[in-house]
Chains A and B, each alone.
Chain A
Amino acid sequence: MKLTIEEVEHIAALARLELTEEEQQRYAEQLSDVLDYAARLDELATDQIPPTASVLDLQLRLREDRSRPGLPTKDVLKNAANTRDDQFQVPPILGGQE
């Protein structure tokens, strides 16, 4: 199976990745190779096999419903490129592309 450039563009958009034309070409080929390799899984009949949800036979637990202190706001914000009034600053959500 060969991925088309249009498919690569579609996946890149879903993944929010800007790719150069050269990257699109290269990934079209390389991802096709990997997917061809993955197709060998079709050799196995798995209709009756449950998917793995967890490798351990243990129950997930609930934590106590009690509040505890989080990280200080200034520490959380210090790695962000743009902040204002103790908040992350982002471009307008409405009006842009998509």
Chain B
Amino acid sequence: MTDLTQLGVRACLAGLQAGDFSSLELTQALLQRIDALEPQIHAFLTLTPEKALAAAKNADKLRASQPDDLPPLTGLPLAVKDVLCLEGVRTTCGSKILENFIPPFTATAVQRLLDAGVVPLGKTNTDEFAMGSSTENSAYGPSRNPWNTGRVPGGSSGGSAAAVAARMTPAAFGTDTGGSVRQPCSFCGATGIKPTYGRTSRYGLVAYGSSLDTVGMIARNVADVATLFQHMAGFDPLDATSVQLPVPEYTLPESDSLKGLRVGVPEEYFIEGIQPEVEERVRAAIAQLEAQGATAIPIHLPHTEYALPVYYLIAPAEASANLARYDGIRFGPRLGEDNNLWSLFTETRGRLFGPEVKRRIMLGTYALSAGYYDAYYGKAQKVRTLIKRDFDLAFEQVDVIAAPVAPTTAFKFGQHTDDPLAMYLEDVFTLPANLAGVPGLAFPVGPDSDGMPVGMQLMGPHFREDLLFQVGHAYQLATPWHENWPE
């Protein structure tokens, strides 16, 4: 019998459809693998085996009783990043301040896939409130990279990427505010989409940086990601910045030809300090796109170097406002002296938020405070306009932009924990897409000399996820890297 845990999304759906195995068998196989590997990987914060087995049984019953009127993803197991609410299941955001939070509702993006028939396996680990690039900021301990457990899986959706790479799940929800889907995909050799801002609903996503947050998907290959994204995307009246545009059919090419495609190669993404093998692999992948018929065109995104300071003013500013709601009153444990409101606020927040979250709240509070607003937050929002204009101009010349996801492959635990600025520099190539609101698709383009995966990202104009999927899929038709997984 095939090992069911090795199957991707479409292979699972085909097998379920053909009756080769049941959702219950598939779900049990994955839960067993999770049990066996969790001590090494720690990808999950909460497992929901009872819920999963019940949903799987239900899916099998449904498939038997109404085979002609079946939701498209019936019986497909999936993991959910622990910053997305799932009704009745603990949602911690990797934080002690939400240690026992049981949301009374489900995030729209998750609900849509539940409606399409998926079986939730559990909630995956994340840097606290999605603030981090390694999962080392999770209050519940870091996840480990399945390719080498001495390395980080990336972050903040590190639990999701590690779970996919370790074949604990065929796919997992991620969220991307500054690279949190793409960078862990790069570090773990997975494929993931960071959608256009507004393309997926943020309702039920615990807010971090509201003008930057997006809900994405991580899986084994582009076609699997596109299959799930088809059902996640779209307008939601519950999210004021959700966009009322129709979602196209994400049909994928059968040929690997990229004839006529113009691929922009931004010089500013191949800077000094980038790991030489990352540059080699990404340039080789661009040459591969050319071999398939695309034309590579050198372009400039001149304000790229300013994305980092802009992001680390805007995101903390938004976070400092969003995280004001954790005051010990409506959720979480309550600390402080009896009958003293000030002490309730400051002690609850001071003791239950972790160091990085406090650092960003402090930074954001400072950037918004009287006398400094214009110099920091106001200035950053102006430079953000320049960064967005760089992309607008670039997309007049090219169809997509190809670039490395991160300057290095997965780094070792502890390498950046004492130096926040060094950790922030890991995000230097992912932040611009969030600041401009454009979509990004990350996928593996081969290993470095230590065998660690290198990731490339394709960025496209607003709402052109379809184009990114087509190009990424054509690349994966011609190359084997997305089929490589750790033992």
Contacts and interface: CB of A to CB of B under 8 A. Distances in A.
Interface in A11-52: 11-19, 23, 27, 30-31, 33-35, 37-38, 40-42, 44, 46, 49-52
B365 A15 contact: yes
B436 A55 contact: yes
Interface centre among B308, B366, B378, B384 (most CB of A within 10 A): B366
B288 to A, nearest CB: 31
B333 A81 contact: yes
A41 B388 contact: no
Contacts of B305: 40
Contact of A41 (B320, B363, B380): B380
B330 A11 contact: no
Interface in B338-359: 338-347, 349-351, 353, 355, 358-359
Given A35-B363, A44-B303, A90-B329, 11 more contacts: A15-B361, A17-B350, A31-B359, A35-B376, A38-B376, A50-B382, A51-B385, A52-B435, A55-B388, A55-B436, A71-B105
Interface of B: 100-102, 104-105, 197-198, 211, 237, 240-241, 243-244, 303, 305-306, 308-310, 312-313, 320, 324, 327-334, 338-347, 349-351, 353, 355, 358-359, 361-363, 365-366, 369, 376, 378-386, 388, 420-421, 424, 435-437, 462
A34 to B, nearest CB: 6
A98 B346 CA distance: 12
Interface string A58-98: 10110100000001100110111110000010111100111
B386 A49 contact: yes
Nearest to A40: B309
B347 A81 contact: no
B385 A49 contact: yes
19 contacts: A8-B362, A18-B347, A31-B363, A33-B420, A34-B363, A35-B366, A37-B312, A41-B310, A46-B386, A49-B385, A55-B388, A55-B436, A55-B462, A56-B241, A58-B243, A61-B244, A72-B104, A90-B329, A97-B342
